[in-house]
Structure 1
Amino acid sequence: MQSRCISISEFGNVNVVTISEREVPEPRGSEVRIRVEAASVSFTDIMIRNGLYPEVKKAPVVLGYDVVGEVEAVGPDVTRFSPGDRVADLTITGSQSEYLLRDEAGLVPVPSELEPAQAVVCVLAYLTAYQMMFRVAELKEGDSFLIHGGGGSVGSAALDLARAFGISAYATASQSKHEFVSSFGATAIDYQHEDFVQVVKQAHPDGVPAVFDAIGPENFKRSYSALSPGGSLVIFGLLDMALGRQKGGMLATGLWYGLSKLKRDRRNAMFYIITRLRKQHPDWFQEDLTALFELLRQGRIAPVVADIVSFFDIAEAHRRIESAEIRGKIVLDPRRR
């Protein structure tokens, strides 16, 4: 069957994004064919589009890092799912499509009462925040942390989870997003006019147990200094490099990271890569995403959907994400006309 999708034929600016069609065959073996109900539009898509994402080295490619949808057909070896079930997965590419095939082993059941748009925000944004907070930094109730980009999808997810679990949060954000950040009960820091290290240490003279940073090497150094003894700097991206604001970001990060390991100050720096952790601990992916869906079902978290768009709105969605105007997550609904 034919399926419309969002694809790029080459790496480049937003003009390479097109609506195309691809063949989605009948599922074989343990494959499941999913009718897509929601796929997030994320900054990772822009990194892939620009040729900056390490796991996607060639175009053409269909975009879309995560998916929530309904099982439409199953292969003969499928045992866990039936047509009509709702499922979720982390796809890396391919989900911005009307239909796609996935192996049942990686799928996570989605409670039927959840809205697809909110559920899909859990798959990449909330899972990233949840695993950084609880699997990597091992935060607990009463702890505190700093995250950069508090108005973005991962940042707002971390703030929402902090509120749910009784953790104090500090977040850098532009002045225009301070009200949004504060709505989660977090302390907003104007990164353009305030020293985030000073703000954090005024409240916590010894520093905080965790800092989550996806900006770049120069920021990592300052974030490291905001840590308490035994604290963890968790690096989960290179925004400056992706936006062309810093050349040689990977090399500079590698050099700084290596030097940080030589320090004997009981603080740690580590990288978080969602796909790597999933390969190392596939059971965590299932457990953690299931836990997030349950938190959403109970009303303990409330993912922010900034907009729900159609295929025809994707290029504009990329522009909005690149301008950093978005609060929360943009979601594609392929059923929209």
Structure 2
Amino acid sequence: MTTSSVPLPATSTRIILPGLVEPSGLQISLGPIPTPTAGQLLMQVEATGISFAEQAMRRGRYFGQPAFPFTPGYDLVGRVLSVGPGGDERMIGERVAAMTKTGGWATHAVVEARDSITVPDGITPEDAETVVVNGVTAWQMLHRAAKVKPGQTILVFGANGGVGGILIQLAQHHGVTVIGAASPRHHDALRRAGVIPVDYADPELPSIVRQHAPAGVSAVFDNIGGDNTKKSFALLRRGGTLVTYAIVNAVSGTGSLMGPFMKAIGQAVLWSALPNGKKATFYDLWAGHKYRPARFRRHLEEDLGHVFDLLRDGTITANIAARFPLTEAAAALELAESRTLNGKVILLP
């Protein structure tokens, strides 16, 4: 038996990804309100968003995605309407942020309580949404994976993206100089943000980076993979760390994803064993979720808590590229996939 202190609506609206379709092929579905089981929360979704993960899932190119059809939505922010059996009834009415992988593009969603964090007062749902998965990823890569120190210089690929934008702000707050790799159309915005812009496709990128960091950079955050990862590792100074957090080249291609992922992980292990003082790692947001749940939850609460505090006091800002009603998810996804934006596209149920 679930517990709720508010009357529940009769139906829920959700977006369905039926198969390998263009954005226009997304479907709108009405159905019953889902019921939370033990350890779960029923949410009234206030904001969700579009990340590269959903764009990859549309093409069937996200490692470990569920079988079609399903509702996309990697994270969300909303109010708790009810809790599953044995749940903490004090959560009802609270605004929380949740990591979901799928299911966020809906007016109501059931989420795991252990993957949900209370949103502090003073932060709007849409602002909070921009830093849930993106903020945790950026914080953990900067402080846990690379352990970047004040005064160092880093190179960020995908600097105009959702993760990149938060990573830049967190790094600057930490006293770090940022070189941002992105398409030239984003360079003016990067300059205004205090970032040194470089064209990620420029064959002279290594020499340009060396002009700003002659001994090499202290960390590279690479979301491209393939040959770019090799170039990134070569740009590290002694003691530097390469953090690969996506392999866009492979995800955007064809064929099995298992090979490229295993190669990236194996490559990181091999490079870290070389006697040059450099390290490489493949960052996985969900590492430890299954086998070290208490540690995973502790880090999630600590790290997202830090990001929320910085967002609330204005140290970092939410970078929202566009807002769409949930029912216009097809148009929102098409815009997000245009790669012309700086920031995250938000869906508002």
3-state SS of paired residue (2:220): strand
Q: Which residue of 2 aligns with 1:266?
A: 277
Range with greater deviation from structure 2 (27-36 or 133-142): 27-36
User: Which residues in structure 2 correspond to 1:1-337 (within 5 Å)?
Assistant: 1-79=10-88, 81-193=90-202, 195-244=204-253, 249-250=260-261, 253=264, 256-257=267-268, 259-261=270-272, 263-279=274-290, 280=292, 281-334=296-349
| TM-score normalised by length of structure 1 | 0.92
| 8 A contact 1:231–1:267 mirrored in 2 | yes
Task: Tell me how far apart the structure 1 counterparts of residues 288 and 218 of structure 2 sit (CA, whole Å).
Answer: 21
3-state SS of paired residue (1:155): helix
**CA distance 1:289–1:80, change in 2 (3 Å):** farther
**CA distance 1:245–1:224, change in 2 (3 Å):** farther
| 8 A contact 2:269–2:281 mirrored in 1 | no
The CA deviation string for residues 292-317 of structure 1, in whole angstroms up to 9 with x for no partner, is 11111111110200111112332222
Q: Which residue of 1 aligns with 2:6?
A: none
**CA distance 1:315–1:194, change in 2 (3 Å):** same
| 8 A contact 1:71–1:81 mirrored in 2 | no
How many pairs align? Answer: 334
Displacement of 1:284 in angstroms is: 0.2
**CA distance 1:319–1:26, change in 2 (3 Å):** closer
| 8 A contact 1:182–1:188 mirrored in 2 | yes
Amino acid aligned to 2:192: S
Range with greater deviation from structure 2 (278-287 or 257-266): 257-266
**CA distance 1:271–1:173, change in 2 (3 Å):** same
Amino acid aligned to 2:342: R
Range with greater deviation from structure 2 (156-165 or 86-95): 156-165
Extract unaligned runs of 5+ from structure 1: none
Root mean square deviation, CA, Å: 2.1
Displacement of 1:103 in angstroms is: 3.1
| TM-score normalised by length of structure 2 | 0.89
| 8 A contact 1:278–1:285 mirrored in 2 | no
Query: What is the identity percentage for the equivalent residue pairs of Structure 1 and Structure 2?
Result: 31
Displacement of 1:320 in angstroms is: 2.2
Task: Tell me how far apart the structure 1 counterparts of residues 85 and 232 of structure 2 sit (CA, whole Å).
Answer: 51
Range with greater deviation from structure 2 (26-35 or 179-188): 26-35
The CA deviation string for residues 154-198 of structure 1, in whole angstroms up to 9 with x for no partner, is 111111112222111011111110111122211111234462221
Amino acid aligned to 1:315: A
